[in-house]
């Protein structure tokens, strides 16, 4: 009796556990573009197009490798509209009575599969370096779950940048050499841009028709949509950008959306690239003298450190993680996150880039859109929905710990030891946004004062009870307390007035 083998849109590799456990001579692969998955948040059209095109090409690849694949396009009149609906329909059609699947990256879909009318066997998704059990045993009994210590375990486990038992270059972390402010000149022209082929064009037309009202531009479309192209993107990064990756990791420039970032997260998360092959390529560049250790260590840390760590947190913390709101924030997400006008250049630029590319790099996500939402006290559930929708690499396992935990401190400090908040001074140091902003970053109060300068103190003041005992924040509170009483009152009044104007829908 044949079984159905479910392959989800972010499981596009022949190495996926369910395919490894199946038999191509008997079992039947099921892939489906379904409304439920395409609309649980209002995904960016580029994200949907990337996944549908990559799914279609992967289905062809599997057929070429001898698999029987039942593929349901989005506009198929028979499309049941959900993953379980499609499994049921295909089970009726083929007589199959069981399904093999690889564990999805969201609790929502795991629950759905557990309750699917056709029995589903879930295989653990072993595309990651740490299994659930390994992460749980690392976390067991620890007072705090700091990424740095987990990362060292992953270095030992993988042998990446290790010389026997010692880290290459005698240090685990080279961050003090990284994070320089934005340079005047950028020698990298961004990721390679792949011209849409016939499969991609067909999907772009479909997405234009079906998701016209979603935030984001579907064209021009340039993402890689198959493994060969994704490998090309990786090679392009290693050759052209990796050598400067560390130096300018935290920089932001108006005219340079990608700087020296890899722009490979959509490919890694969808299965077109594997985390280890990406790290091996970076390590080889260091060993051959093509990239310095600070860049390569910083890059590898993002993948075997942060990426693995956030996944561990998501599954350790359970399905209620996305509902956490430790700071009790309840403001609506301002309309300028969806493209409405704002005078704040840093936000306008980050959102415009997000609309056009379905991509923003880490510091834009953390220190511009994330920082503002946290300072302004936006409901973290709304912030979470926004990030899950607008980035081509967003799936809950990776997005939620970054947003709920790292960016919004809504998990109460599991991921971050202190909130990532800053005034305009940090943004000015790391970017050139302030030069063309309607606000003045140098102004702390009064006409034209940078809103980040006002909201920063407003945030610290309203959360004083929670944070003043945090040693990493003591200096901030000392600075606030040293300001004279009048000045503090003015800052709080002006911050409150700014928030009121924003809430009333004025362009701020
Ligand atoms: P690079 O800067 O070149 O880094 C290389 C790789 O390291 C990335 O491709 C990614 O796979 C990995 N990486 C780096 N930082 C992280 C991190 N914090 N968590 C997990 N992986 C990391 N990443 C996602 O993949 N999906 C998301 O939905 C997502 N949401 C985020 C939300 C917020 C608020 C923040 C602060 C970060 C988020 N990140 C997310 C992490 C990071 O911003 C992106 O992985 C990165 O910007 C992707 O671009 P890149 O490939 O050019 O990355
Ligand atoms: C994100 C997404 C979208 C937009 N569409 C589909 C789809 O039509 N079919 C599918 O199999 N997967 C899709 N996905 C990816 C799933 O939502 C993803 O597998 C889960 O969120 C778990 O990570
Ligand atoms: Fe952003 Fe303030 Fe700089 Fe304007 S002045 S770009 S609002 S940090």
Question: How would DSSP label each residue in 302-325?
Answer: IIIIIIHHHHHHHHHH-GGGGG--
Nearest atom of ligand 2 to the alpha carbon of 9? 12
Of all atoms in ligand 1, which is nearest to the CA of residue 265?
9
Among all bound ligands, the one having the nearest atom to the CA of 371 is 1
Instruction: Give the number of the atom of ligand 1 that is nearest the alpha carbon of residue 311.
Output: 20
| Cβ 434 under 6 angstroms from ligand 3 | yes
Q: Closest Cα to residue 223, out of 260, 183, 196?
A: 196
Nearest to 453 by CA among 442, 464, 444: 444
351 lines ligand 3 (CB under 6 A): no
Dist CA 7 CA 504 (whole Å): 46
CB-CB neighbours of 330 under 10 Å: 12
Please return the burial class of 436, using the count of CB atoms within 10 Å of its CB with bins 0-12, 13-18 and 19+.
exposed
User: Phi and psi at residue 308, in whole multiples of 5°?
Assistant: -70, -40
In this structure, are strands 166-167 and 162-163 parallel, antiparallel, or unpaired?
antiparallel
Ligand 3 contacts CB of residue 345 (under 6 A): yes
Select from 8, 54, 71 the residue to mutate for testing ligand 2; criterion: most ligand atoms less than 8 Å from CB.
8
Whether the model pTM is above 0.95: yes
Tens place of pLDDT for every residue, the chain, 508 residues? Answer: 789 999 999 999 999 999 999 999 999 999 999 999 999 999 999 999 999 999 999 999 999 999 999 999 999 999 999 999 999 999 999 999 999 999 999 999 999 999 999 999 999 999 999 999 999 999 999 989 999 999 999 999 999 999 999 999 999 999 888 888 878 788 888 999 999 999 999 999 999 999 999 999 999 999 999 999 999 999 999 999 999 998 899 999 998 999 999 999 999 999 999 999 999 999 999 999 999 999 999 999 999 999 999 999 999 999 999 999 999 999 999 999 999 999 999 999 999 999 999 999 999 999 999 999 999 999 999 999 999 999 999 999 999 999 999 999 999 999 999 999 999 999 999 999 999 999 999 999 999 999 999 999 999 999 999 999 999 999 999 999 999 999 999 999 999 999 999 999 999 9
Residue 185: its pLDDT value, please?
82
Q: Give the closest residue to 282 by CA, choosing from 315, 349, 317, 234.
A: 234
CA distance 379 to 498: 17
- Return the H-helix or E-strand segment holding 70: strand 68-72
Judge if the beta carbon of residue 346 lies within 6 A of ligand 3: yes
226 in ligand 2 pocket by Cβ < 6 Å?
A: no
**Ligand 3 contact, 196 CB (< 6 A):** no
**Rg of the chain on CA atoms, in Å:** 23
Which H or E run includes 357? Answer: helix 345-357
Please identify, by atom number, the ligand 3 atom nearest to the C-alpha of residue 453: 2
Res 409: pLDDT: 98
* Beta carbons of 428 and 340 less than 8 angstroms apart: no
Decide: 147 in ligand 2 pocket, CB within 6 A: no
Q: Measured at the alpha carbon of residue 394, what is the angle toward residues 243 and 381, in degrees to the nearest 5?
A: 125
Sheet containing 120-123, strands listed edge to edge, beginning at the edge strand earlier in sequence: 68-72, 28-32, 4-6, 99-102, 120-123
CA of 207 to the centre of ligand 2 (A): 15
Q: Tell me the CA end-to-end span of the chain in Å, nearest whole number.
A: 63
Distance from the alpha carbon of residue 507 to the mean position of ligand 1, in angstroms? 30
Closest CA to 299 of 256, 242, 359: 242
Cβ atoms of 133 and 312 within 8 Å: the answer is no
The finding on whether 263 has its CB within 6 A of some atom of ligand 1 is: yes
Q: What are phi and psi of 403, to 5 degrees?
A: -90, -60
Q: Which ligand is nearest to the CA of 498?
A: 3
Peptide bond into 199 cis (omega under 30): no
Looking at residue 66, its pLDDT comes to 97
Please work out whether the CB of residue 433 comes within 6 Å of at least one atom of ligand 3. Answer: yes
Which pLDDT belongs to residue 372?
Answer: 98
Helices (H) and strands (E) in the chain, counts: 24, 7
Q: Is the dihedral of CA 412, 416, 417, 421 positive or negative?
A: negative
For 85-202, strand residue ranges (E) read 99-102, 120-123, 162-163, 166-167
pLDDT at 416: 96
Output the CA 363–ligand 1 centroid distance in Å: 10
- 8 Å CB contact between 331 and 503: yes
Taking the C-alpha atoms of residue 331 and residue 131, their distance in angstroms, rounded to an integer, is 37
Cβ–ligand 2 distance for 43 under 6 Å, the answer: yes
Residue whose CA lies nearest to ligand 1 atom number 48: 265
Q: Whose CA is nearest to atom 40 of ligand 1?
A: 399
Indicate which residue's Cα is closest to atom 6 of ligand 3: 434
Which residues does residue 378 pair with via DSSP β-bridges, in sequence order? Answer: 331
The finding on whether 106 has its CB within 6 A of some atom of ligand 2 is yes
Q: Is 386 in the pocket of ligand 1 (CB under 6 A)?
A: no
- Among 353, 394, 337, smallest CA distance to 252 is for 353
CA–CA gap between residue 322 and residue 333 (Å, rounded): 16
Q: Which of 31, 51, 310 to mutate to test the pocket of ligand 2 (most atoms within 8 A of CB)?
A: 51
């Amino acid at each position: 009796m044949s079984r159905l083998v479910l392959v989800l849109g972010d499981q596009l590799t022949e190495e996926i556990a369910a395919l490894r456990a199946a038999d191509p001579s008997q079992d039947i692969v099921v892939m489906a573009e379904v409304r439920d998955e395409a609309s649980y948040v209002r995904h960016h059209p580029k994200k949907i197009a990337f996944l549908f095109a990559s799914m279609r090409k992967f289905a062809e690849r599997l057929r070429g490798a001898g698999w029987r694949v039942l593929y349901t396009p989005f506009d198929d009149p028979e499309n049941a509209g959900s993953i379980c609906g499609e499994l049921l329909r295909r089970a009726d059609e083929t007589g199959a009575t069981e399904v093999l699947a690889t564990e999805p990256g969201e609790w929502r879909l795991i629950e759905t599969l557990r309750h699917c009318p056709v029995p589903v066997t879930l295989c653990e998704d072993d595309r990651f370096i740490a299994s659930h059990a390994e992460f749980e045993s690392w976390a067991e009994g620890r007072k705090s779950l700091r990424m740095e210590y987990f990362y060292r375990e992953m270095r030992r486990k993988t042998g990446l940048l290790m010389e026997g038992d010692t880290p290459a270059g005698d240090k685990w972390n080279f961050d003090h050499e990284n994070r320089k402010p934005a340079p005047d000149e950028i020698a990298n022209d961004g990721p390679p841009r792949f011209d849409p082929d016939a499969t991609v064009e067909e999907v772009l037309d479909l997405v234009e028709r079906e998701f016209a009202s979603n935030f984001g531009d579907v064209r021009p479309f340039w993402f890689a949509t198959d493994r060969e192209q994704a490998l090309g993107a990786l090679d392009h990064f290693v050759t052209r950008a990796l050598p400067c990756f560390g130096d300018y990791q935290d920089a932001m420039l108006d005219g340079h959306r990608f700087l020296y970032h890899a722009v490979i997260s959509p490919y890694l998360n969808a299965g077109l690239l594997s985390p280890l092959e990406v790290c091996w390529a970076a390590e080889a560049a260091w060993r051959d003298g093509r990239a310095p250790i600070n860049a390569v260590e910083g890059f590898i840390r993002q993948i075997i450190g942060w990426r693995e760590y956030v996944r561990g947190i998501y599954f350790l913390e359970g399905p209620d993680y996305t509902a956490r709101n430790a700071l009790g924030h309840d403001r609506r997400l301002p309309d300028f996150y969806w493209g409405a006008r704002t005078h704040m250049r840093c936000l306008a630029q980050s959102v415009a880039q997000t609309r056009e590319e379905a991509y923003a790099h880490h510091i834009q996500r953390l220190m511009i859109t994330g920082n503002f939402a946290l300072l302004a006290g936006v409901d973290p559930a709304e912030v979470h929905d926004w990030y899950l929708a607008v980035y081509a690499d967003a799936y809950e396992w990776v997005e939620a710990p970054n947003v709920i935990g790292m960016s919004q401190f809504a998990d109460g400090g599991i991921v971050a030891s202190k909130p990532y908040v800053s005034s305009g001074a940090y943004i000015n140091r790391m970017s050139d946004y302030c030069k063309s902003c309607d606000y003045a970053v140098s102004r702390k109060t009064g006409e034209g004062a940078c809103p980040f300068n006002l909201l920063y103190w407003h945030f610290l003041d309203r959360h004083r009870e929670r944070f003043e005992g945090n040693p990493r924040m003591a200096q901030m509170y000392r600075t606030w307390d040293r300001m004279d009483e009048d000045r503090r009152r003015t800052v709080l009044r002006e911050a409150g007035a700014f928030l009121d104007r924003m809430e009333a829908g004025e362009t701020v």
